[in-house]
């Protein structure tokens, strides 16, 4: 699936134009979603330097997006005048009802998949996953 993900208030606490503290398990979840083959788009109000800072921050956290503020890599946004990008799922703290936790997001997208061993075989650190799933099961 193509999943659009907001930055401020969704991946990090809302401190725009600064970068707030990471929302628990946000980046662990994004890594799992990427490993499951989802295409992630960073979809944010940020532009220019503040956008670059957000992209670099995510890269440091181990997540590189498939596209940034565009519906697919290399989209001509000048030509495509619609402001909303095209995605199948949007994850945003301004959702009606608010942002559910990142552990719930993974559960909603992959209710069938709680097989720790198969995830361990992929490239995610065991201790990160252990903490993640311990929390999920609380």
Angle, alpha carbons 41-46-108 (nearest 5°): 35
Q: Which of residues 74-93 bind Mg ion (CB under 5 A)?
A: 93
Task: List CB contacts of 81: < 8 A, sequence separation 6 or more.
Answer: none
**Closest separation in Å from C-beta 37 to Mg ion:** 25
**Closest separation in Å from C-beta 106 to Mg ion:** 19
Helix (H, G, I), strand (E, B) or coil at 71: coil
By C-beta, is 6 or 28 nearer to Mg ion?
Answer: 6
- DSSP E strands in 70-124: the ranges are 89-91
By C-beta, is 45 or 114 nearer to Mg ion?
Answer: 45
In the bound complex, which residue of the shown chain has the CB atom lying closest to Mg ion?
9
The footprint of Mg ion (CB under 5 A) covers: 6, 8-9, 93
């Amino acid at each position: 699936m193509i999943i659009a993900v907001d930055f401020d208030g969704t991946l990090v606490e809302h401190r725009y134009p600064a970068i707030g503290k990471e929302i628990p398990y946000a980046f662990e979840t994004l890594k799992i979603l990427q490993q499951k083959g989802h295409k992630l788009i960073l979809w944010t109000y940020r532009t220019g330097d503040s956008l670059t800072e957000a992209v670099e921050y995510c890269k440091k956290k181990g997540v590189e997006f498939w596209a940034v503020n565009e519906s697919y890599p290399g989209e001509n946004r000048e030509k495509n005048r619609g402001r909303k990008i095209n995605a199948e799922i949007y994850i945003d703290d301004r959702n009606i009802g608010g942002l559910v936790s990142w552990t719930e997001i993974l559960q909603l997208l992959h209710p069938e998949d709680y097989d720790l061993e198969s995830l361990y075989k992929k490239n995610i650190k065991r201790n990160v996953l252990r903490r993640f799933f311990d929390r999920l099961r609380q």
